[in-house]
């Protein structure tokens, strides 16, 4: 059985007109956007209201250790809402520098078109796409 995820304008932090994403790159970009969108920010029905998990809002909170421990499961649950994803595994590395905490979130995903790894750097201010391989 062949699968085709189609194509769309490439968009991580901003739209790149004239550049398109297809295949696993398209799904990886969708995962990144899903993890940087606050829940309830999309207009529409119930599905849109349940879209998103703003991981930047979890860094630096008073419950940061509890959030870090539960975050892999929360990310996996959020990404499994995308029917293009077959399996997902998340690992989080905490980096403490000069009293500030940040995370490197590595996400290994398998889709019908193949696997990919997504790596995101997260601080309490920003999320940065570090790479899609």
Range of the domain at 104: 7-132
What local confidence, expressed as pLDDT, does residue 70 receive? Answer: 85
Output DSSP code: residue 127: E
Is pLDDT above 80 for 22? yes
CB atoms within 10 A of CB 79: 22
Is pLDDT above 60 for 2? no
Place of tokens 């796409």: 129
CA distance 87 to 116: 11
CB atoms within 10 A of CB 63: 10
Residue 17, in any domain of the structure = yes
Residue 1, in any domain of the structure = no
CA angle 124, 83, 109 (to 5 degrees): 55
Pairing of strands 127-132, 114-122: antiparallel
What local confidence, expressed as pLDDT, does residue 34 receive? Answer: 96
Which tens digit of pLDDT belongs to each residue from 57-77? 887 665 656 666 788 999 999
CB atoms within 10 A of CB 129: 15
Q: Give mean pLDDT, residues 113-130.
A: 94
User: 12-51 b/e with 16+ CB inside 10 Å = b?
Assistant: beeeeeeeebebbbbbbbbbbebbbeeeeeeeeeeeeeeb
- DSSP helix/strand/coil, 56: helix
Q: For the chain, what is the domain count?
A: 1
What local confidence, expressed as pLDDT, does residue 90 receive? Answer: 97
What local confidence, expressed as pLDDT, does residue 105 receive? Answer: 95
CATH, residue 119: 3.10.450.40
Q: Give mean pLDDT, residues 10-17.
A: 85
Is pLDDT above 80 for 29? yes
Residue 94, in any domain of the structure = yes
- The pTM assigned to this predicted structure is 0.90
């Amino acid at each position: 059985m062949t699968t085709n995820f189609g194509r769309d304008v490439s968009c991580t932090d901003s739209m790149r007109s004239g550049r398109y994403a297809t295949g696993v790159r398209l799904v990886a970009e969708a995962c990144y956007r899903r993890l940087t969108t606050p829940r309830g920010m999309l207009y529409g029905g119930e599905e849109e209201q349940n879209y998103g998990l703003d991981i930047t809002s979890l860094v630096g909170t008073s419950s940061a250790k509890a959030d870090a421990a539960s975050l892999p499961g929360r990310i996996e649950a959020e990404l499994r809402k995308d029917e293009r994803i077959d399996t997902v595994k998340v690992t989080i590395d905490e980096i403490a520098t000069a009293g500030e905490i940040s995370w490197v979130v590595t996400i290994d995903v398998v889709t019908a078109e193949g696997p990919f790894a997504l790596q995101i750097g997260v601080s309490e201010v920003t999320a940065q796409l570090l790479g899609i391989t």
